[in-house]
Amino acid sequence: MQKRGQAALEYLVTYGWVFVAVLVIIGTLSYFGFLSPDSFLSDSCDFGLQLECVDQYLDDEKQVVLRFQNNFGANITIVDAYIRTGNNEFEQVFYGEPSGSSPSPVAIPRNEIRQVRFDLDGQDFSFSRNRKQRVDLIVEFHRVGGSIRHNITGNVFGEVSEPLI
């Protein structure tokens, strides 16, 4: 009688140790980020085809630098920008040419590419270096010679890096 009970107990203990080992391996992989879905997603920037985002850069000083190509068929000027914050509301952000020190409209001639910097300092979220971050933006613009403002909603998803010089 005791031999059969011992065999059953040894069987269960052996499979218990295997189960614990599998849990430790999964925990280790998860801790070091190998099971993070962000690591399998590529960087992206989507504002549609008319104001095409051809490149993006995020840094840990809350700077988002985008390169836009104007495919509208007319010259445009970016006049305002808003970001979705942590409480799911849109707030106005500083924007302009990367070399500028104050917010200013950014003119993008037809079929040209221009770089625009969005300064998110003071907004209700944070960037962590070497982690992927999603940023939702609304960019307001008007056609040169026109006064009607239009907006495009887009998002940027990419790895946060150290600041550009």
Domain boundaries, the chain: 2-35, 41-161
pLDDT score of 165: 59
pLDDT score of 2: 56
> Which of the four pLDDT bands, split at 50, 70 and 90, describes residue 3?
low
Q: What is the DSSP string of 5-54?
A: HHHHHHHHHHHHHHHHHHHHHHHHHHHTTTT-GGGGSPPEEE-TTTEEEE
Instruction: Say which residue the tokens 């924007």 belong to.
Output: 95
Q: How far apart are CA 60 and CA 28, in angstroms?
A: 27
Q: Beta-strand (E) ranges in 71-144?
A: 76-84, 90-92, 94-96, 106-108, 113-119, 132-143
pLDDT score of 31: 86
Q: What angle do CA 35, 38, 43 make, to 5 degrees?
A: 145
Name the architecture of domain 41-161.
Sandwich (2.60)
The arithmetic mean of pLDDT across residues 116-138, rounded, is 81
Q: Looking at the predicted structure, is the pLDDT value of residue 4 above 60?
A: yes
Q: Looking at the predicted structure, is the pLDDT value of residue 76 above 90?
A: yes
Max mean pLDDT among 2-6, 95-99, 132-136 falls in: 132-136
Q: How far is CA 135 from the centre of its chain?
A: 5
Q: Kindly report the pTM of this predicted structure.
A: 0.72
pLDDT score of 67: 93
The tokens describing 106, both together, are 């950014």
The arithmetic mean of pLDDT across residues 64-77, rounded, is 92
